[in-house]
Structure 1
Amino acid sequence: MPSDGRHRADSGLTDAQLKTALDAVLAANPRDGGAWSTLGLLLRRSGTPEAAIACHRRGLEFAPENAGIWSNLGNALTDAGRLDEGVAAQSEALRLGPDNATVLHNATVTLRKAGRFAEALALIDRAMSRQAAAGRTAAHDLRWERALARLQIGDYVHGFVDYESRRGLSAYHGRPPSGPAWDGGPLDGRTILLSAEQGFGDALLMARFVPLVGARGGRVLYECHPELRRVLSGLPVDAVVAPGAPSPTLPAFDVEASQMSLPGLFGTTLASVPPPVVLTIPQDSRDKAARRLGPREPGVLRVGIVWSGRVTFADNSRRATSLARFLRFAEVPGVRLYSLQKGPPEAEVAALGPVGALVTPLGPDLDDFADTAAMLEQLDLVIMTDSAVAHLAGSLGTPVWNLVQHVPYWIYGFSGEHTPWYPTMRLFRQGRDLDWGPVFAAAAAALHEEVRRRTGR
C-alpha cells in the first residue's frame, strides 16, 4: 500500500467505486503519487500487472521517496515475471522503509519467487529479530514465507514447523479446529479426524500418510473430496466424511489433524518420504478407458497431456500454459496425444479447429479421478504442467514429465530432475527468465529419444 495512507485499496469500496474515486482524484491532481499507486494495486488485482507497473512508475515520478510505492512496484514486477527488476524495486523500498512491516513482507515474497532463498531467509530473520526486540511475536505471514523457503530448499525439519503458520493467514480455508490437536503419538484406540485442506493434488500427495496414522492404533475418520472417493477407497480408514460437513454432524472423535500437517507430525525428511499410496481403480472405469482408447497401434506411444490446473488457484497462471505449446509433441513420429484436461481450458481442444484431430479429448469421459486413473493406465507417458493429475500419475507409477515453473510447488525442490515424492516423475524446469520455450524444447528432444528407445524409430 502507499505509505502515506491517503488512498487505500482496502477502503471498503468496490473496485469499480474505487476506480471512479481515483479517476476523480487524478483529474483534480494528476501529480498525486499515492493515487497512481493505488490505481496500480487495482490493476494488479485485476490481473494486468504491466498496466500496474506503469501506474506505480507514474506514482514514483511524483513521490520518489515513497517506500510503499516502490514495494507495490516490486510486487507488480514480480507478477509480470520481471524478477530481477522486482528484486531491485524491493531493495529500494527496504532502503526507504527498513522498518515497514509490509515492505519487509513484500520483499521476502519477491526474493522467494525469484529463487533467492538465502536472501529471503536472512531478511525474515532480520524482520523477526526486530519484532522480538519490540516485544511482538513473529507475524504469521513471515513464518509462512519462511516455511515455503525452507521447504523449497529441503529443510523439512524446520520447514514443517513453520508450515503450521498457514492457519493464521487470512487466506486459510481449512476446517476450523473443533477438538484437541493430535501430536503424532499413539492413538491407543482413540478416534482421529483427518481433515481435508487445499486441493485434489494435495489430498493425493498426503494420502501416503494415512496408513501410518492407522498404525498408531486408533480409528480414522477421513475427510475426502467426492471426486477422490473411489480412487482413495482402498485407504485403511474407518469412515469417510464429506468435506466441509459441519462439526456437529460428524461422528464423534477424540483428536484431529489436517492432512497437510501429517508430514510434520511424522518428522518427514527428504530421506524418509513414504512411497505413494496404492490407488483403487474400479473395473467399470477400466472398461470405460479400454472402450475409449481402443486397441493399441503397434509402434505408437500414447502420450497424455495436461496444460492447466484449477483455474481458480491463485498461482495457476504461473504454472499453466496453453494447449498450443503441446502440439510440438504431435510432430514426433509415432506419438499420439490424448488430452486429460478438465475445466474451462478443455475448450482449447475444440478451438483448434481441424488441427484438433491431433489431440484426442478424454476430458468428457472423466467423471472423477478413478476414471482419470484408468485412462492413465492405458497411456505410456504423461507430459504436463503441474496439477492434480501429476500427483495421480506419480501415485500410479505412470511415467510423468512435469514441466514446472521457476519456483514450483515445494515438493519439487529447486534443482534436479527428480523428487523423492514420486519416483516415476521427471522434472523439466523453467529458468530465471520464466520462459516456457526452452522447457518445451527440452521435453520435445527427450520425447524423440523416448520414442527411439521404445520403438527403435
Structure 2
Amino acid sequence: MLANPYDAGAWSTLGVLLRRSGKLNEAIVCHNRALEYAPENASIWTNLGNALTGAGRLMEAVAAQEEALRREPYNRTAMFNAVVSLRQAGRFAEALAMIERAGGPAADPALRWERALVRLQIGDYVHGFDDYAGRRSLPSYNGRRATRPAWDGKALDGRSVFLTAEQGLGDALLMARYLPLVKALGGRVLYEGHEEFRRLLSGPEIDEYRNWGGPVDGDVEASQMDLPGLLGTTLASIPPPVRLRVPEEARRKATKILGVREPGTLRVGIVWSGRVTFADNARRATSLAPFLRFAEISGVRLYSLQKGPPEAELAELGPAQRLIVPLGPELEDFADTAAMVEQLDLVIMTDSSVAHLAGALGKPVWNLLQYVPYWIYGFAGAWTPWYPSMRLFRQGMDLDWRPVFDAAAEALRDEVRRRTGR
C-alpha cells in the first residue's frame, strides 16, 4: 500500500518499477491511476507510453507519448521515448523526424543508435551502417573494446586483421559472409568466434580460429558487425551467405538419427524460441503450442531443433510429444544442427540463429516474424535479399500470432500437395 494513495508521483514510480520487472499490465494500471491525480504531468504520460510499448499496445503507446509532448514540447526524455514508440509501431518517417526534433545524435548518442535501427529497417544501409558504429557509445554496449588500430576496410597488403564476433549467434552467422571478402584483401584473418561454429566456419577464409575472450593480436582489428559498413554494403550489393562446411561425421550422425524417410511425407524442422536471455526474445518467440497445428496436416512429420530451456515444453505435451521427434539432445554444436537441417525438407520457426543457419545452407526456411523484426528482414514483403531460400510470414500491428500461423499452415498444405500430391 502507498502511504498516500493520492500521490501521483508514487503511483508512477511504482509503475516504472513494475515495468522493469516485466509486470507490464500492472504498470499500466499504476500510471493510469497516477494520471487520475495529475493528468497534466508529462513524465507520467511518457512513463505510461513506455509501459504500453512494452505490452505491445503500440497505437496507445504513441498516443501517450504525444500527450506527454503536448504538455511539455521540449521534454527530451519524452522525445526519446516517442522515438522508440514510433519505431516499434513501424512509423519510421515520424521516428526520424522526432530524432531531429530531439537534437539528433549530438544531443544523445542513444538517438544515433535509434536512427541506425530505423535507417537499416528501411534499407538505407549507406547511412544506417554509419550510425551503427554509435552502439559503442551506449552504456549497455557489451562488445569487446578495441585495443589494436581500427581497420578501415582497405587492402591489407600482408597485414593481419583480428575480427571478433559480436552480439548473438545469429549475427555471427549473418556476418560470416564477409570473411571471404576480407581474406581476398590480402592479409591474414584471425577470427575470434563462438566455439559452436568452429567446425562449420573453419576454412581457407580464416587463418586462425580463436575462442572468444582470449588475447587480441594482429596489426588491425574490427568487429564482425562493422564489416557491412567497412565494405560498402548496399541493398544491391549484399554478398551471398558464406559456404558452411558440414563435417561428414555430422552428416553420418544425422542420417543415423533421422533414419529411413517415410514415403510421401515432408520432414519439417521447428524452432519456437531463440535465446531466452535476449532482451527482445519475448516479442519474437512463441510457445510450442501453435506449432502443433502443423502436425495436423497429412504428410507432415515434425522434428524439434529447439535448444535451451524451451525444450522442456516437449515433455509437457505428455503422450502427444510423440508427434514431434526431439533432435535437441543430439545437437552438440551448430555443425550437428546443420547436418540435421540438410536432411529436412523445410524449417518453420520464429526468428533465431537457426534461421540464419538454414538460410546460409540454402535450405527452405519459413521465418515467422514479429511486427518490427530484425533489420535484415525490412518491414514488408515475403523475402529478404540476405537469404534467398527464406520466406517471411509477418505479424500485423496487433502483434497477433494467429494470422501468421494461419498463413503458414495454409502454405504448408500447398507445399505438401506440391511435393507429394496429397
TM class, shorter-chain normalised? over 0.9
1:72 is matched with 47
What pairs up with 1:7-406 in 2 under 5 angstroms? 23=1, 26-27=2-3, 29-128=4-103, 137-234=106-203, 236-245=205-214, 249-250=215-216, 252-406=217-371
CA distance in 1 between partners of 2:202 and 2:72 (Å): 53
What secondary structure sits across from 2:349 in the alignment? strand
What pairs up with 1:429-444 in 2 under 5 angstroms? 429-444=394-409
Q: Which amino acid aligns with 2:94?
A: E
CA distance in 1 between partners of 2:49 and 2:408 (Å): 32
State the shift of 1:235 in Å: 5.2
1:134 is matched with none
CA distance in 2 between partners of 1:118 and 1:99 (Å): 20
Moved more, 370-379 or 59-68: 59-68
User: How many correspondences in the alignment?
Assistant: 422
Q: Note if contact 2:130-2:229 (Cα within 8 Å) is conserved in structure 1.
A: yes
CA distance in 1 between partners of 2:53 and 2:118 (Å): 16
Runs of 4+ in 1 over 3 A off after TM superposition: none
Matched, 1:409 2:411: no
- Aligned-residue sequence identity (percent) comes to 71
Q: Note if contact 2:166-2:224 (Cα within 8 Å) is conserved in structure 1.
A: yes
State the shift of 1:114 in Å: 0.3
Q: Which amino acid aligns with 1:158?
A: H
Q: Note if contact 1:210-1:235 (Cα within 8 Å) is conserved in structure 2.
A: no
Moved more, 303-312 or 287-296: 287-296
What secondary structure sits across from 2:366 in the alignment? strand
Moved more, 302-311 or 100-109: 100-109
State the shift of 1:51 in Å: 0.6
* Structure 2, unpaired ranges of 5+: none
Given the alignment, which residue of 392, 403, 411 partners 1:446? 411
Measured against aligned partners, the alpha-carbon deviations of 1:355-394 in whole angstroms (never above 9, x if no partner) come to: 1111111000001000000000110000000000000000
Matched, 1:426 2:386: no
Structure 2 length-normalised TM? 0.98
CA distance in 2 between partners of 1:292 and 1:94 (Å): 59
What secondary structure sits across from 1:186 in the alignment? coil
State the shift of 1:218 in Å: 1.1
Structure 1 length-normalised TM? 0.91
Measured against aligned partners, the alpha-carbon deviations of 1:383-440 in whole angstroms (never above 9, x if no partner) come to: 0000000000000001000000000000000000000000000000000110000000
Q: Which amino acid aligns with 2:43?
A: G
State the shift of 1:102 in Å: 1.4
Q: Note if contact 2:28-2:52 (Cα within 8 Å) is conserved in structure 1.
A: yes
What secondary structure sits across from 1:128 in the alignment? coil
What secondary structure sits across from 1:160 in the alignment? helix
Q: Which amino acid aligns with 1:435?
A: D
